[in-house]
Structure 1
């Protein structure tokens, strides 16, 4: 290490230590040097919303300091922590001073010590609104969107993180429906009917835009006649796109392969690319897998029944767990038949 670099690091460490010292000094100035003194009065002051005596009393009961007790910085910090953990506040600070409200110090106290906890109440969900202007035949459903929402039940805490996460959940739902260029914004406002001022009306404004359509559906599966199944697919060229339709088409392709005797086809995750013209190109690759023959000896069952009870024939899985499950179901079926 060079000498210049050594002194540079030394200066940086000194600057950090000075900054930490200044922070500690600020805390001491805010609470004063009152360690060990008897507390004259303790009060909770609500900031930013109307006074609520019942809420103030509940917050007071959670504190670790009380009138007549000894003041310690540890108990003040514990009180602040208790306020946060109560879920009633989103911000809190403590102040200590020798200036009390009239009559708070009592007749026999010469040097009163008053502790005030100034809090901003935690905002709560009162109502969630969806502002979404879509035609009657739209595939978008307000009920489906509401099932995607998380941590927004009435009475839940309202935070920026919760609102952003739910906007992302709505955006994901819209993408699944093929609305790749949708816009989702959110806002909150105090419920005018709430006297406490903490109940919030949360509004998500949704501008879905146009649903993407299919430019091409490219299927690459060696040794499989793709054209034999293509007319059965939902995602034809120029049709609107959705993840549900894609999943249905992939299952149609899988079942077509299984019918050829290849009971374990491998299909990779479909790759969907959105073009500037709001049209998607779908690329699906895979393989037909091995030819699998299923024989049930000494007992006769129709092929339809075997497909219903054996996962290996119905789902195209030759995993050991699927074979064991098929054995169990086949045994049950035989026992049902006596």
Structure 2
């Protein structure tokens, strides 16, 4: 077989010319490795510190304040909430504002001074096993260290422990990774499927030559967008029902909250995810380009939403980026309803945010589409 080097050179030159004209592809070629390196470098960490905690301190002695200060100095925990009742402590942990709660009894300091064993209760949110294990080990180390100090100070020798840390893990007592992964995976699958499908919807019309037929009809831009979205909303609902059924009956992950509420939040999330897909479809010139942009969007969602890695382990700037991703809030909703049994009162902020994302992305998709056809 004979090869003509000049013809091969011409093909190579032509291919580079086509790539050069496609600025979106060039941007993906340059940005994708940079983005993945930065995201994996900063977000892919399981070393968790500065975990938000709440304290119910019924003791007025110096010893309890000393214990809390040692917990803060360990840098594993940040005591951000001081509550006055168990009900308030439970609400803060239920809402996810705090991942751990300490309850110090009123006789804590007196027991230490009289040589008795002083108890501390630790309540841990077990929905994220990595964070929960960090809290348990970090708090255990601090209590053990302080116990040794107290034993030397008040008894003159190291004997039995003078502090007793009683731990309780809520929502996921066995700290099973299945309970942590499955709710998040439902959100990831739902976003991936709907985003990929809708990102092809408009660009497919353009490639097939049917877009002109839609343009000349009396249908408005918003009507077209809604008509494009409704089938995928139905598909999304079918997917989430299948995923929930598989979670319950195959993986044995019980749904402790309201399924109706979960479906309502899923609807809000679907509109946002579908809106992003429509935006991608309106700015893409081909289905291949739409797929590339979809993958470009899916990767940050998987890494930064808290599905794979604890958000507490991420630097603040990366954490700030995660707050503009709808999946971040939807995963919190999924784990809150499925594992904690959260109601609307604990999740109303996420509802507002997801609704705002849906309205915003659909509006932007409509605006971008109008610019394309005029």
- TM-score normalised by length of structure 1: 0.22
Bigger Rg, structure 1 or 2: 1
Report which structure shows greater RCO (CA 8 Å, sep ≥6).
Answer: 2
- TM-score normalised by length of structure 2: 0.20
